[in-house]
Amino acid sequence: MARPARYGRSARRSGGLVAAIGRLLMAAVLVLLIGPPLWVAIYRFVPPPVTILMIERLIDGKGLDHRWIPLSRIAPQMTRAVIASEDTGFCAHHGFDFQAIDRALKHNEERPGKIRGGSTISQQTAKNVFLWPERSWLRKGAEAWFTVLIETIWGKRRIMEVYLNSVEMGPGVYGVEAASRRYFHHAAADLNAAEAGRLAAILPSPLKWKAARPGPYVRQRTGKIEARSGTVAREGLADCVLD
Q: Given this model, what pLDDT does residue 99 score?
A: 81
Q: What pLDDT does 17 receive? A: 74
Task: Quickly state the pLDDT bin for 113 (edges 50, 70, 90).
Answer: low
Across the range 71-100, mean pLDDT stands at 94
Task: Judge residue 135's burial from the number of C-beta atoms within 10 Å of its C-beta, 0-12 exposed, 13-18 middle, 19 or more buried.
Answer: exposed
Pick from 60, 41, 64: which is nearest to 51 by CA?
64
Average pLDDT, stretch 12-34?
70
167 band by pLDDT with thresholds 50, 70 and 90: very high
Longest dimension (CA), the chain: 90
Q: What is the pLDDT of residues 196-220, one digit of tens each?
A: 999 999 999 999 999 999 999 999 9
Q: For residue range 27-62, what is the model confidence (pLDDT) as tens digits? A: 666 667 788 999 999 999 999 999 999 999 999 999
Task: Answer whether residue 133 shows pLDDT above 60.
Answer: yes
Q: What is the pLDDT of residue 19?
A: 73
The pLDDT of residue 11:
58
Confidence of residue 111 (pLDDT cuts 50, 70, 90): low
Instruction: Kindly tell me if the per-residue pLDDT of 4 is higher than 60.
Output: no
- Is the per-residue pLDDT at 166 higher than 80? yes
Question: Residue 241 pLDDT more than 80?
Answer: yes
**What pLDDT band is residue 63 in, cutting at 50, 70 and 90?**
very high
Q: Report how far residue 184's alpha carbon sits from residue 206's, in angstroms, rounded to the nearest whole number.
A: 16
pLDDT at residue 145 in the model: 94
- Please say if the pLDDT value at position 115 is more than 70: no
Helix (H) or strand (E) holding 22, with range, is helix 5-43
Residue 104, pLDDT > 70, answer no
What type of residue sits at position 116? Answer: R
Helix, strand, coil tally for the chain in percent (to 5): 65, 0, 35
